[in-house]
Amino acid sequence: MIVRPAQHWFLRLFVWHGSVLASIMFRLFLNLVMSLAAVLCVQWYEALNIRLTLAPFSLLGIAIAIFLGFRNSVGYARFSEARQLWGGLMVAQRTLVRQLRSLLPQSLPAIREFAAMQIAYTWCLKHQLRGTSPEQDIRRLLPDDQAQRVLASPAPCNRLLLMMGGWLAARRAAGEISDMLYHGIDQTLTQLVVAQSGCERIHNTPIPFAYTVIVHRTVYLFCSLLPFALVPDLHYMTPLVSVFISYTFLSLDTLAEELGEPFGTESNDLPLNALCNAVEINLLEMCDVVPLPAWRRPDKHYLLD
């Protein structure tokens, strides 16, 4: 995710990092080539009485704009829901540690063990959503025996949920937590399951492929033929106008793809590493652990991953 300070409107016109321009630069170059070809061939295809008018492009442009707007709305809705799910995850984890610190003030070492499982769960969920290996973080956060159990499981996040549930059940069996309090804490633990299931639903259910292909093909066909409709009226200004119009449509199409997959590593995706880092710092601080890890900050390009 790009996290930029307030910026003057004129400077924002020349922003590179965080825009999708880097992703579509080659496609804009191809449109420029098509525009130059249209300028060079205008006399030839007009002599053959071949001419595209702007009327169909005006109608098609309106239709594409509506579909791209809808697709971007769907993509942003997925992005927003994913962020809310991670926000709910952080609320539930802080609540769990707060409840245990209040109910078991003399069991700080055991609560630290439970907090470590929560932190490992957060990092593990991040790796699951990004398709990376959680081994390094699991071994960093958990004792060897627990780490082996988690890594041996085909569903590490679910294994950690079972381990946290078992930890709570052991406190209940020892009489440290009453049945009523256990039920309340278990309901908070269930919120982790709800958040995980919501993230998996977004991750495993992409925007329907057929719809994406229709919009994608229409945008590229529109941008490819546009120079030949502009050149009879604009002549040598055709490359400038065509590239600018193509930039608008191609950037919206590319941005919709990024927002539709919010758990990736693109510039406009969620900063899952930063969110996991925030959870780790918060839970360790609540357990009086020192020193704390450093907060993750945006890099020199304002990218927070």
pLDDT per residue as tens digits for the range 67-85: 888 888 988 999 999 999 9
Across all residues in the chain, what is the average pLDDT? Answer: 89
Confidence at residue 100, expressed as pLDDT on a 0 to 100 scale: 92
pLDDT (mean) for 276-296: 92
pLDDT per residue as tens digits for the range 215-249: 888 898 889 888 888 888 888 888 999 999 999 99
For residue 302, pLDDT over 70 is answered with yes
Residue 132 falls in which region: left (phi positive, over 0), alpha (psi -120 to 50) or beta: beta
Confidence at residue 258, expressed as pLDDT on a 0 to 100 scale: 86
Domain ranges of the chain: 9-286
Dist. CA 55–CA 207, nearest whole Å: 31
pTM reported for the whole predicted model: 0.89
For residue 125, pLDDT over 90 is answered with yes
pLDDT per residue as tens digits for the range 130-140: 999 999 999 99
CB of 243 closer than 8 Å to CB of 26:
no
For residue 166, pLDDT over 80 is answered with yes
| Alpha-carbon distances of 186 from 13, 48, 119, 209, 246, rounded to whole Å | 51, 77, 17, 39, 53
Q: DSSP code of 105?
A: T
For residue 46, pLDDT over 70 is answered with no
